[in-house]
Amino acid sequence: MKKLWLCIFCILLTAVVGMVLRPLFPEEPGAGQPAELEPIAERIAAMTPEEKAGQLMLVGMDGVSPSTSFQQEMKDHPYGGVILFDRNMESPAQVKELNRRLQALAGKMPLFIGLDEEGGQVARMKDSLPAPPSQASIGAAGKPEEARKWAAKTGKALKQLGFNLNLAPVADVGSGAGRSYSSHPATAASFVEQALAGYQEVRLMACLKHFPGLGKGQEDTHKGRVTVSASRETLEREDLMPFRRALEKYPDPRFAIMVTHVDYPALDPEWPASLSQSIMGDLLRKRLHFDGLILTDDLTMGAIAGSWPLEEAAVRALLSGADLVMVCHDPEQIRQVHAAIARAIQAGKLPQDQVDTSLYRILKAKGTL
């Protein structure tokens, strides 16, 4: 009997000691859940500044097939993603082959391949890829579940063509051109939540836009600076509601958020949202607790390109909290932005910890596609 009790005591003692010491001696990578993402960190540690800079960019391309120079860039420093427009798209078969080639060029670094397929007026290749209804028409029907159905249908069609990212839905309240589900914040939020559910259902990454809300903007950021003069209280009560509700419903977001180029003096008196640490860092990251991917809108738009050198704006956007900067036009500008980001990483102007955190988010998100 004494031996039995001694054995039981030894077993209990071993268990207690194990519980105490386990945090001090973590399992080897691959042996358990805490270390399952370790290969991402190892991959980042092995990347050159040029490779890191490439992954921090979502770029456009010319033509319906990759040029020789674009192929070389993808070999030297694969971009994080490619955004396609009608200029790149002739037919479903051609688009599917193009996307296959782009992923092949990316090698071990999978690409985000995206487009703007919001519905209504903002849709690609309408002649051969039937566009969903505009968000306004879906919202007017008064049934949020319709947003989920259309998002799932759209996402499934895009996946069949090789896309894994749609820059939709629009989470703005009351935008023109039929782009918003509603001019009522709570209604818009309900439809946005359902749209996200539809994209997640078919495992295609969505992207809420345009944070912190573009509905009150009266001008076009493609042409120049736009200012929304609403108070902080109004912005938080109305324009932020669809974003806030989405983050409350999906605390582990499988979607990105695109930040607009609009100026919001009540939130940041100096910088537009896409270059603002106050808006991306303090508001979106800290207050709203968003830990997914932050994208800028296209930096070649007039609101940015008309006021800052493109290379300076790209570095500023990343320094202020963006994970991916979007440069959709002009191959030479894309190359210049890439070189500027690589120099900023090399010189430490972009802190290594911040860059590596963004890269971790990017590669982790790609692993879920």
- Placement of tokens 């399952």 in the chain: 36
Q: Please calculate the CA angle 333-359-88 and round it to the nearest 5 degrees.
A: 40
Q: Spell out the residues 6+ positions from residue 314 whose beta carbon is closer than 8 angstroms to its own.
A: 299, 325, 327, 337, 340, 341
C-alpha span between 74 and 92 (Å, rounded): 24
The confidence score (pLDDT) of residue 129 equals 84
Taking alpha carbons only, the member of 175, 89, 176 closest to residue 126 is 89
Dihedral sign (CA 127, 103, 324, 315): negative
The rounded mean pLDDT for the chain is: 90
Q: Which of 263, 297, 298, 323 is catalytic?
A: 297
Give CB contacts under 8 A, 24+ apart, made by 138-143: 138/181, 138/191, 139/180, 139/181, 139/182, 139/187, 139/188, 139/191
The confidence score (pLDDT) of residue 38 equals 67
What residue ranges define each of the domains in the chain, with the CATH number in brackets? 52-366 (3.20.20.300)
The tens digit of pLDDT for each residue in 247-275 reads 999 988 899 999 999 999 999 999 999 99
E strands present in the chain: 57-59, 81-83, 112-115, 165-166, 206-211, 255-259, 294-298, 324-327
The tens digit of pLDDT for each residue in 72-127 reads 999 999 999 999 999 999 999 999 999 999 999 998 889 999 999 999 999 999 98
Is 222 marked active-site? yes
C-alpha span between 57 and 67 (Å, rounded): 18
Q: Which of 62, 116, 184, 222 is catalytic?
A: 222
The confidence score (pLDDT) of residue 347 equals 97
Q: Spell out the residues 6+ positions from residue 359 whose beta carbon is closer than 8 angstroms to its own.
A: 44, 47, 52, 55, 56
Is 323 marked active-site? no
Taking 50 as the pLDDT cut, the residues of the chain under it are 1-37
The confidence score (pLDDT) of residue 5 equals 47
What tokens were used for 118?
Answer: 């919001």
Indicate the pTM of the whole model.
0.88
Determine contact, residues 57/327, Cβ cutoff 8 Å: yes
Determine contact, residues 120/135, Cβ cutoff 8 Å: yes
Taking alpha carbons only, the member of 298, 319, 332, 140 closest to residue 221 is 298
Q: Which residues pair with 205 in a beta bridge?
A: 165
Strand, coil or helix: what is 269? coil
The confidence score (pLDDT) of residue 148 equals 98
C-alpha span between 315 and 348 (Å, rounded): 12
